[in-house]
Amino acid sequence: MSGLSPALLKEQCGSLGNLVSYSKDEGNKLIRLTESKSLSSSIWQNVNDVFRDIFLPHGYPDSVSEDYFSYQIWDTIQAFCSTITGTFTTQAILKGVGVGNAEASPLAAAITWVLKDGTGMLGRIVFAWWKGNSLDADCKKWRLFADIVNDTAMFLELMVPYFSEFSLQFLCLTTTMKAVVGVAGGATRASITQHQAIKGNMADVSAKDGSQETCVNLIASIVGILL
């Protein structure tokens, strides 16, 4: 553009951000310039920027480790499948405790629910005391362990309607297993987040991971209901 000095300064938020340059006009006034784009390209870029700001850490991909994207792909698939399975397990649990059965007692169902939650709380405390100090050193092992235990617990919950006379025992066991999953999965996720946050942005990486998982869980819940 005529009347402007060469670019004095250029800035970009990460390698994917828009490139902005600053020049001075004839009146020595600082001018901010952005790259001109077509309407369709501009709309697509704006949509892309919004989704990146919502679901990816600030400055992505330069603000995270190289394995961040591949990890998130597999973590998203795992969360999607787990949420869909969880929809079926919820149905199975409710059926197992007597929902829809005219002979079932609301008090018995309530007691079953309280006892299963209580055993889960105890399981969480005991596992954290037993293995809490080894979760950092064997992060991958415990992450895999958590997924296997979670899948096993879901399988047992799907069996509850077929063994309704043992529903209390099944639910106490599976809730305890899921409590162990919560401790192992949550603690190892903290270690993974610490590894991925290479710019001192651990809180941002953790928050955006939560946003991704929430969105995936919402979509998977709708799919699960349809199934």
Confidence of residue 226 (pLDDT cuts 50, 70, 90): very high
Look at residue 38 and tell me whether its pLDDT is greater than 60.
Answer: no
150 and 86 in contact (C-beta within 8 Å)? no
Confidence of residue 136 (pLDDT cuts 50, 70, 90): confident
Q: What angle is formed at CA 72 by the lines to CA 68 and CA 78, rounded to 5 degrees?
A: 150
Residues 147-159 pLDDT 10s? 999 999 999 999 9
Identity of the highest mean pLDDT range in 9-23, 89-103, 210-224: 210-224
Look at residue 13 and tell me whether its pLDDT is greater than 70.
Answer: no
Confidence of residue 76 (pLDDT cuts 50, 70, 90): very high
11 and 20 in contact (C-beta within 8 Å)? yes
Confidence of residue 45 (pLDDT cuts 50, 70, 90): confident
Mean of pLDDT values over 22-31: 70
Look at residue 21 and tell me whether its pLDDT is greater than 90.
Answer: no
Q: Would residue 36 be called left, alpha or beta, if left means φ above 0 and alpha means ψ between -120 and 50 degrees? A: beta
User: What mean pLDDT, rounded, does the chain reach?
Assistant: 87
Look at residue 82 and tell me whether its pLDDT is greater than 90.
Answer: yes
Nearest of 18, 51, 48, 23 to residue 35 by alpha carbon:
18
Amino acid at 213: E
Bridge partners of 188, per DSSP, are none
Look at residue 215 and tell me whether its pLDDT is greater than 90.
Answer: yes
Say how many residues make up the chain: 227
pLDDT confidence of residue 217: 96
| pLDDT > 70 in the chain, percent | 85
Burial label for 52, CB within 10 Å (0-12, 13-18, 19+), is middle
pLDDT confidence of residue 165: 87
Nearest of 185, 220, 226, 224 to residue 77 by alpha carbon:
220
The token pair that represents 196 in the structure block: 């991925």
pLDDT confidence of residue 63: 93
- In 158-196, which positions are buried (b, 16+ CB within 10 angstroms) versus exposed (e)? bebeeeeeebbebbbbbbbbbbbbbbbbebbbebbbebb
9 and 21 in contact (C-beta within 8 Å)? yes
Question: What Å distances lie between residue 117 and 26, 122, 176, 177, CA to CA?
Answer: 72, 9, 8, 11
